[in-house]
Amino acid sequence: MHSSTAVEQCLYESAEEARELYIHDVVPRLKSPPTALEFYRHWVAQNRPFVVEGGAADWPACKKWSSKYFREKYGDKVLSVAVTPNGRADAVNNGKFILPEEREMTFDEFLNEMDDETSDVFYIQKQNSNLTLDMPELLPDVVEEISWATEALGAKPDAVNFWMGSARSVTSMHKDHYENIYVVVKGAKEFILHSPTDRPFIPHKSYPLAQYLKTNGTWTVQDISSTPVPWVSVDPANPKYNEYPMYKKAKKITCTVKAGDLLYLPALWFHHVSQTDGTIAVNYWYDMEFDVKYAYFQTLDKLNGLLGR
Amino acid sequence: MHSSTAVEQCLYESAEEARELYIHDVVPRLKSPPTALEFYRHWVAQNRPFVVEGGAADWPACKKWSSKYFREKYGDKVLSVAVTPNGRADAVNNGKFILPEEREMTFDEFLNEMDDETSDVFYIQKQNSNLTLDMPELLPDVVEEISWATEALGAKPDAVNFWMGSARSVTSMHKDHYENIYVVVKGAKEFILHSPTDRPFIPHKSYPLAQYLKTNGTWTVQDISSTPVPWVSVDPANPKYNEYPMYKKAKKITCTVKAGDLLYLPALWFHHVSQTDGTIAVNYWYDMEFDVKYAYFQTLDKLNGLLGR
């Protein structure tokens, strides 16, 4: 029969074997994009990331977009901006999962705040297809869809998001239920990645939901719900191995995406993202298939939950 | 924490959810083959079977092949035939996993034996690409590869096999590490199928390896190796639910493939096959990807092994 330890050991070994089977040690860097069929067969179906070097280098955005350009052309435009005291929006702090304050401001105001290192931390990171919905003027500078991804996945992107922020903004480790094409237009982003098959090494906990709010110049954390939000409990950039010794076994794959590069980030891959100052990016979220590999991941996730991860 | 029962329950629930997510209740029947990209996206990546009705109806084989035709054209040709006393080649009997006797004989001799219901059971079922290796004369009557499958999978078939036998031959439930395109040329085959995600409900045991041998007119079972062979221990056509109560929860999908029809049987799907008298078939084995869904299946398989399945 088995014990808790035997099940744990089985999950650990399987995660290690999965890596040997199908995960590259580094994120492969292609010189040109795959065909639709190659994309599906080699990358989507296998749930493996890749970078196309210079895959978006010829987009007008890569030549035109800058703080100066945005000030001149769209300075008065009103945007929704995530504001935090510390650059940690949608992250765990002091035992709570804390959302950013969402603030409406003009592009000019945002750029002033973003550049002020003594200020709070301002990040355009609204993931509601804010490029198409809130900034359609910018669409002609990019593409409405990634042609080979749309052909492969059989549908247009579900959302196209615009991101702009400073090095003080860091995105905590999480996963998305989307196939993600991530294009850096200016600056650079560093991704720390884990395959979903590494789930047994990635500790999770549940946290009450809260939100940062600034009132009369003072930050508070306002409780929103005691219904717990499950989130990755380790910070891969500064892991507490004493607390989470199993995380030592996780395979950390780091990947720098520079201006003009395009990253395919497969659905369910854990990712932590940091960036240089003034980084601008656009990402395309395509619906994922809730298919056999999703079903298997759900099983793995539940078993880990049962083991207290 | 958890117990054996909790892990078992988790695996059961996950298998049931997997079905709801991605498995059809019946094998879908298409009127025409998919494109390469559709095949990969909708069927291979999702690990789901389908039938193309009449997908091979225009092959010369479907018009020409019969016992009479083979006697006239290839009566003297020597073939390798699987012979058993009971039609159960590669199956468990009396606590052993028993291979058939392999016998060389002419096509004429095979056809005489196949048609004699008082004889032992003779089945051409050698899965070493016997069509291309042993019967290249028959190749022009079929196709060397399934064009949309070759394009999708990025490689030609690894093996093309010829099958001919009577209703007394039954293939016990098992799975293959191949993507399988199965074409029935004459007669009909009935497949009993289970998705790999049903693994928690499908009992396995390990059996010593043996082989049927007929010496001086008497059948014996000769032991080959005591190294145990893991095999499905339930007969889906006649399940002993008292012994394997969990098998009641398995989702049994039956699928009849008639002359001219083409079945895509995804890698790792459990299948049990029976047939009408004089059934002729050709199957194309394409290498499978040892990818993320394979890695996940391995985990599931090991966990079930740990639970004694």
Find which of B199, B251, B296 to mutate to test the A interface (most A CBs within 10 Å of its CB): B296
- Say whether A291 and B46 touch across the interface (CB within 8 A): yes
Q: How near does any CA of chain A get to the CA of B201, in Å?
A: 15
- Say whether A41 and B154 touch across the interface (CB within 8 A): yes
Q: Measured between CB atoms, which of B152, B197, B306 is closest to A292?
A: B197
Are A15 and B302 in contact by the 8 Å Cβ rule? The answer is: no
Residues A224-251: tens digit of each pLDDT: 998 899 999 999 999 999 999 999 999 9
CB A5: neighbour CB atoms within 10 A? 9
pLDDT value of position B1: 46
Please give the residue of chain A at the shortest CA–CA distance from B152. Answer: A37
Indicate if the pLDDT at residue A3 is higher than 50: yes
Q: Which pLDDT band, with edges at 50, 70 and 90, does A308 fall under? A: confident
Q: Which pLDDT band, with edges at 50, 70 and 90, does A1 fall under? A: very low
Which residue reads 């996963």 in tokens?
Answer: A175
pLDDT value of position B87: 97
Indicate if the pLDDT at residue A4 is higher than 80: no
Identity of residue B194: H
Q: Coil, strand or helix: which one is B309?
A: coil
Structure token digits, residue B287: 């290498």
d(CA A57, CA A262): 9
Residues A73-125: tens digit of each pLDDT: 999 999 999 999 999 999 999 999 999 999 999 999 999 999 998 889 999 99
Q: Which pLDDT band, with edges at 50, 70 and 90, does B307 fall under? A: confident
Indicate if the pLDDT at residue B8 is higher than 60: yes
DSSP string, A187-247: SEEEEEEE-GGGGGGS-EEEEEEEEEEEETTEEEEEEEEEEEEEEE-S-TTS--TTT-GGG
Residues B68-103: tens digit of each pLDDT: 999 999 999 999 999 999 999 999 999 999 999 999
Indicate if the pLDDT at residue A188 is higher than 60: yes
Report, as an integer, the average pLDDT of B266-275: 98
Are B168 and B121 in contact by the 8 Å Cβ rule? The answer is: yes
pLDDT value of position A22: 83
What's the gap between Cα B49 and its chain centre?
13
Q: Measured between CB atoms, which of A15, A151, A290 is closest to B21?
A: A290
Tell me which of B154 and A19 has the higher pLDDT: B154
Q: Which pLDDT band, with edges at 50, 70 and 90, does A29 fall under? A: very high
Indicate if the pLDDT at residue B4 is higher than 90: no
- Say whether A17 and B295 touch across the interface (CB within 8 A): yes
Q: Measured between CB atoms, which of A7, A41, A292 is closest to B7?
A: A7
Q: Measured between CB atoms, which of B6, B289, B306 is closest to A6?
A: B306
Indicate if the pLDDT at residue B111 is higher than 70: yes
Percentage of chain B beyond pLDDT 90 is 89
Chain A positions in Cβ-Cβ contact with residue B44 (cut-off 8 Å): 41, 45
In the DSSP assignment, the letter for residue B77 is -
CATH architecture for residues B4-306: Sandwich (2.60)
Report, as an integer, the average pLDDT of B106-115: 96
Interface check B2 vs A, CB under 8 A: yes
- Say whether B40 and A36 touch across the interface (CB within 8 A): no
- Say whether B18 and A303 touch across the interface (CB within 8 A): no
- Say whether B289 and A45 touch across the interface (CB within 8 A): yes
Interface check B295 vs A, CB under 8 A: yes
ipTM field: 0.91
Chain B positions in Cβ-Cβ contact with residue A1 (cut-off 8 Å): 4, 307-308
- Say whether B45 and A40 touch across the interface (CB within 8 A): yes
pLDDT value of position B25: 87
pLDDT value of position A2: 53
Output the CA–CA distances (angstroms, integers) from residue A63 to A69, A73, A181, B258, in the order listed.
Answer: 10, 15, 20, 60
Least confident of B8-17, B29-38, B122-131, B196-205: B8-17
d(CA B88, CA B72): 29
- Say whether A152 and B44 touch across the interface (CB within 8 A): no
pLDDT value of position B22: 83
